[in-house]
Homo-oligomer: A and B are copies of this chain.
Amino acid sequence: MTRALTVSIDAMGGDAGPGVVVSALLKTIQRHTDVQFVLHGDEAQLKPLLARQPKLSGRATVRHAPGRVSMEDKPSHVLRRGKDTSMWRTVDCVKAGDADVAVSAGNTGALMAVSMFGLGIIEGISRPAIAVIWPTLKGQCVVLDVGANVSATDEQLVDFAVMGEAFAHVIFGLEKPTVGILNVGAEEQKGNEGVRGAAQILRNSNLPMDFHGFVEGDDIAKGTVDVVVTDGFTGNIALKTAEGTARLVSSYLRQALKRSMLSKLGAVIASGALNALKRKMDPRAQNGGVFLGLNGIVVKSHGSADAVGFASALDIAIGMARADINARITTDRSAVTAESAGARAGEL
C-alpha cells in the first residue's frame, strides 16, 4: 500500500447531517495523524463545511454523490436504485481499493445490503454479522450478531464464533480469546438445536480460541468470556435491553439524588465522581457496530450519533483497518470445515 490508510465516510448518513461528521473529523485527525479521509455526499454542502476547517486541508477530500439513503428506505429499493447515493459510493470506494474501511451512520439494513452486494462475503462464511464492543466488570467483550440476521443455524453460529475470535484478537490483542455461546443455561442439554449444534462443533475444533461452552445473559456484563456468540434476533434484543436498563438505573440515580436537600448536597460534592460515571456509561463512547464476514471492513455508527459518537466509530474503523482481520477469519473458518470433514470421514 503506497497511499496512507484511508477511511471512506458516508457524510450524509446520520440524522444530524454532515456538520457532525466534520466535527468528528476534527477530533479524529488529532489522534490519528497519518490517516486520510474521503467524504461522500452533496459537494454543495460538504465543500463549504470543509473550507471553514483549515486543519482538515490535505487530510480530507470530497467526492460528490447526489443521492441519499433515508432511514425509511428498504434495502431492496436501495440495491435497485441507490447507486448514486453517498452510502453506495462510500462502500464502493473500499471495493475500488481507494480506501481501507467504510463508515456510515445510515440505515443499517440498507448499509448491510449495499456492503454485501459491493464487497461480497468472505469465502467459507455463510452470513455476515454485526459485532459490538460491550463494557464488562472486567473491561470489555465482543458480542455478535446484534442484528444482521433474524436467526442462525449451528454452522452460522460457528461462523460468528470464528469472526468474533478474530475481532477480539485484533481489537483487544488477545492470542486465544475465550468464547461462549449465549443460552438459557450453562448445561450441555440446554437451549435449541442451533446453539447445541454449534457448541458441539466448537468443542471438537482446534481453533485459536478457548471455547467456554454456554453463557447466560448476565455473563455478558460479568465479562465471563471475551466473545459472546448469538443469533441476530437475540443479540439485538439483549443489546437494546441492556441500553434500556442502563438508562433506567441512571434515571433512578438522578431521582434518588434529587430527593432531599441533603442528597442534593451530597450529589454536588460527589459531582466529579458522578460525571466520571456518566462518561463511563456514555453510549457515545462505545459507538460503532462492525460488519464482519465481508471482503472489506464496514463500520456502522449510530444514526443519532453526535461528533463524539461518530469519532468513536472512526476510531474503531481505523483500528480495524490497521489489522488484517479477514486473513485470520479465512484461515480459522477453513480449519473448522476441514476438521468437521475429517471427523465425518472418520465415522465411516
Contact = CB atoms under 8 A, between A and B. Distances in A.
Interface of A: 135-137, 147, 150-151, 182-184, 190-192, 216-222, 230, 232-234, 236-253, 256-257, 259-260, 262-263, 265-274, 276-277, 280-281
B281 A273 contact: no
A256 B250 CA distance: 14
7 contacts: A137-B248, A184-B237, A217-B243, A219-B240, A241-B245, A246-B249, A259-B276
Nearest to A271: B266
Given A137-B248, A220-B241, A245-B246, 9 more contacts: A217-B238, A218-B243, A230-B237, A237-B238, A259-B272, A263-B269, A263-B270, A269-B269, A270-B270
A241 B259 contact: no
B251 A137 contact: yes
A150 B265 CA distance: 49
B269 A265 contact: yes
A136 B234 CA distance: 21
Nearest 4 interchain pairs by C-beta: A266-B270, A217-B240, A263-B273, A266-B269
Given A135-B248, A245-B245, A237 B273 contact: no
Contacts of A270: 256-257, 262-263, 265-267, 270
A276 B232 CA distance: 37
Given A221-B241, A241-B218, A252-B277, A184 B269 contact: no
Contact of A242 (B233, B242, B250, B276): B242
A237 B240 contact: no
Contacts of A239: 217
A255 to B, nearest CB: 8
A140 to B, nearest CB: 12
A241 B238 contact: yes
Contact of A221 (B137, B248, B256, B266): B248
Given A150-B191, A241-B238, A253 B251 contact: no
Nearest to A276: B256
Nearest to A109: B185
A317 to B, nearest CB: 24
Nearest to A239: B217
